[in-house]
Amino acid sequence: MIAAVAAFSFMDALMKLFAAYYPPMQVATLRGAASLPFTVLPLLLAGRLAELRPRRWRMHLLRGLLTVVVLGGFIYALRTLSLANAYSVFLSAPLIVAALSVPLLRERLSIGNWLAILVGLAGVLVMLRPTTAGLASLGAVAALVGAIAYALSAIAVRVLTRTDSTASVVFWTIGLMTVFAAALAAPHWVALAPAHWKWLAAMGLLAAIGQHFLTEAFRSAPPATIAPFEYTALLWGIAIDRVVWHVLPSARVCLGGGIVIASGLYLLWHERTRPPGAPPRLPWQQATEQGRMSRPSSTVEDGARQQEEESP
């Protein structure tokens, strides 16, 4: 999982580099286009293309649209914030998943879980720092909007994977997102500079490497054991920011991010203490088994769902 998160973090760094030259929707389009070959090729080689057949078109369309919002918000945040700052705000997504699952999925949360969610969201406010003089920066707000859209997308996955295969969910989410983002980017499309083609190839390669290690991680251990290591994304973000852009997150961002991470880890700990054989108590845990919690660059869907499908 640490290797997977590292690969995705370097891929996010490439997206940040792209965002300095191209509009956010174009970067999202390039991100999707770079991933599609690596999504289809393993299925083609294994003769599993039939798994791509969609059964719930409306849910696929909804998730494709939500992913456009996720990537658009995240990429805009990368354009204006450091990598670590964008990660810190986006790490609130699991907390939002848990909160939204109550009205949308009629789930029940304990008082302890609600307190953890509220404390975590307070950490987000610490990072956003809204004041009477003005709201937080547009980049931070964009990251929060992306996190909310991600939470809705993760909840949609819970419904979608009841009828559709993992391969179908991943392919149509990325494919529809790429089409929608391309349609929005077309009026302001900027020709890709020759020097940037290698960035595009590297982005696709890093996505494939990250997905491979992610699948192996979820094949080897339960999601509740693996998931906490997603938070190493913040450490990778800090390191990349320091080496590439020579910046470090402020004390306020570190404090708020620490509160968010502590709240998320509490929810994970609470899930791990459930009796053996009992169903998951947290909708957050159930949802994030099919969706990466920290960033929208890829998904945990292959790993967790494949583990489930391959179980005897």
Domain containing 211: what range? 2-310
Q: Which two tokens stand for residue 110?
A: 């304990």
User: Which of 89, 99, 93, 148 is closest to 123 using CA atoms?
Assistant: 89
Structural domain total, the chain: 1
Q: pLDDT digits over 117-175, tens only?
A: 999 999 988 888 765 444 458 888 899 999 999 999 988 888 888 898 888 888 999 99
Q: Which two tokens stand for residue 255?
A: 């404090």
Q: What's the confidence (pLDDT) of residue 32?
A: 93
Instruction: Please check whether residue 284 is in contact with residue 101, taking contact to mean a CB–CB distance below 8 angstroms.
Output: yes
pLDDT band per the 50, 70, 90 thresholds, residue 76: very high
Distance CA 136, CA 303 (A): 36
User: 235 — phi, psi (to 5°)?
Assistant: -65, -45
Distance CA 133, CA 135 (A): 7
Q: What is the pTM of this model?
A: 0.84
> What's the rounded mean pLDDT across residues 94-103?
87
Mean of the per-residue pLDDT values for the chain? 84
* 18-22, 53-57, 101-105, 144-148, range with the lowest pLDDT: 101-105
Distance CA 62, CA 147 (A): 16
Q: What's the confidence (pLDDT) of residue 280?
A: 54
Q: What's the confidence (pLDDT) of residue 305?
A: 45
